Amino acid sequence: MYKLITPNAAAASPPLLVIRNLSCAYTSRNFGLFGKTEIKKVLENINLQINSGEIFGLTGASGCGKSTLARCILGLTGCEGEIIFCGEKQETKNKRLRRARLAQMVFQNPGASLNPIKNIGWLLAEPLAMHKICGREERERRVDEMLVRLGLDPSYKNRKPRELSGGQKQRVCIGRALMLEPKLLIADESISALDVSVGAQILNLLRELNKTLGLSILFISHNANAVEYLCDRMAVFQKSDSS
């Protein structure tokens, strides 16, 4: 097991996300002669606070539970404990759609996150269409606006993912996550598949989005240098003495 070493919460801004005593375990079955069921604890008694408008870093060794914590926040994985967004307690039993407007995630591999047969405009507009937020003309306007914000020309909306570089694909993934205007953006190893220079550009983009939109970001990475460069505060998963 790993324990989470967290800093004191900054008092400059109100809390956006508060996690109290969060625990998560997976059940695995041994298909041998006796078929024993084992429970593996992944997270235990996690306490965390992310404030409005800050970039919060989460780092630690591979397999320590960073991504599992992100999935719990998003409602993709069930857990025990309390998850409080904007002062409102959330269900912790896989309530994904109810939480979609609160938090969105950017994953490690941008190529795997984008449907290869759709153009970029469709991919950016899909979240708006799925949630029936606005009409077609307004969706097109928001797509153009988002592309400019991402540092891409609006003409990119007619391109397919295969026509984009890795860094450009990750920009599109970030934009796609922001189309619903979430309170919190979770970037899970979002630069690990990119080379150093392109990764630095993505970090700078995240910082710019944080400043211009007042966006709160949970930045998850095993790269402690990237976390230190980007984040206002950070927490570290460390090996527990009892594990």
Better-predicted residue by pLDDT, 52 or 95: 52
Q: pLDDT at residue 146 above 90?
A: yes
Q: What is the pLDDT of residue 102?
A: 87
Q: Kindly report which listed range (23-37, 82-96, 180-194) carries the lowest average pLDDT score.
A: 23-37
Q: From CA 206, how far away is CA 179, in angstroms rounded?
A: 15
Mean pLDDT of the chain, nearest integer: 89
Domain boundaries, the chain: 2-31+39-102+182-239
How far is Cα 97 from Cα 23, in angstroms, rounded to an integer? Answer: 21
**pLDDT, tens only, 99-118:** 667 899 998 899 899 999 99
pLDDT average, residue stretch 12-20: 87
For the cut 80, the answer to whether the pLDDT of residue 1 exceeds it is no
CATH code at 2-31+39-102+182-239: 3.40.50.300
Closest CA to 113 of 199, 200, 172: 172
Please report the pLDDT score of residue 33 as a whole number. Answer: 58
